[in-house]
Amino acid sequence: YTINDFPLSEEKNIIARAKSPVRISFGGGGSDLTHYFTKSSGGAVINSTISLYSHATLIKNTNDKIIIISEDLKETIKANDLKSALKQKNKMGLVMSIIKLINPKFGFELHISSDFPVGSGLGGSAVVMSAIIGCFNEFRIDKWTKYEIAEMAYQAERLSFKISGGWQDQYATVFGGVNFMEFNKNKNIIHSLKIDKETLLELKENLILCDTCSAHDSSDIHKDQKKQLLDQKTINKLVSSNVDLTYEIRDSLLKGDLSSIGKFLDKAWQYKRKYSSKISNKRLDNIYNTAMKNGALGGKLLGAGGGGFFMFYCEPTKSRDLQRKLELLNTKIVNFEFEKDGLKSWIVRKTI
């Protein structure tokens, strides 16, 4: 062999891919809203990412053309350049808000798809934003940090597109794992919790994720909750109690003591459902009451409320019977695993 037998490969076009996980929340919901934690002693939530993802693929074009395809919304955008794409009216306003913020200087083709339905209450909007940012980050030399990516997603969703809501979804999907998050007017701190493997295995065996098969409008609910928080001291006390409960949940998980988790989740739900009249309804109450009568030790609706997913805590020996009872109410049981990692992005060579 000589040096001529090992010619250098020509540089080829690359594709950026990313996947970002959804989260389930155990407590503290509502305290991550800016109008709450900036006017109180602070907010705190505890959540974990699970094995349902948003996926994004980004292909750089050799011209200025823009193509964006959302499998979730069944919508496609085609334009000659970014300026023209931003002017189009379509269902992808949230996606375009993050594209506008990133302001790429090249044409591209972006594909987006998710493992979960729109309006799931699993923080899906933030998850999609995170996956898109992850793809564009692969083309940067000075890469954005996890905090920067989460706060970019927040800016695009909450400030630019004006969807009301909190901060936990963006941090959860980017950082991944089980996190205890504290919010105050000066800074937000993400604490990654080191939970024993056996504790997480047991927790997973005791949890049931139930899709109510009804979407929700989180922005509308958060707006109503904001009004309630501004007008009623009672609601602020409920949110504060939910924050205190979050610390108890954190301590139980760290100690590996799951004996009270069901009771904690039930208490969190009873607090939360009083935040706004829009959080629960007759159908959701029926699902919850049926679960509690058939083996559940507690549970809560994930996300803002009004629909989406319930999470129930149940003894494994009663789990299958409870699942059958829930399915009779036209719900769907979704299998999952805990996901220890958050946003992942990488590049591959374009082969075709």
Q: Which two tokens stand for residue 115?
A: 């493992």
Q: Which two tokens stand for residue 120?
A: 């799931």
Relative orientation angle of helices 261-272 and 233-255, to the nearest 10 degrees? 160
Distance CA 272, CA 279 (A): 8
Distance CA 158, CA 162 (A): 5
Distance CA 245, CA 345 (A): 35
3-state helix, strand, coil in the chain (%, to 5): 40, 25, 35
Return the beta strands (E) in 99-144 as ranges: 108-114
- Residue numbers annotated as active site: 169
Contact 69, 110 (CB under 8 A): yes
Distance CA 152, CA 170 (A): 9
Backbone dihedral angles phi then psi of residue 8, each to the nearest 5 degrees: -70, 140
Local structure of 163: helix, strand or coil = coil
The distance of Cα 18 from the centroid of its chain, to the nearest Å, equals 15
At position 245, the amino acid (one-letter code) is L
- DSSP letter string, 302-320: -SSSSSSEEEEEE-HHHHH
Short-list 50, 46, 42, 48, CA closest to 28: 46
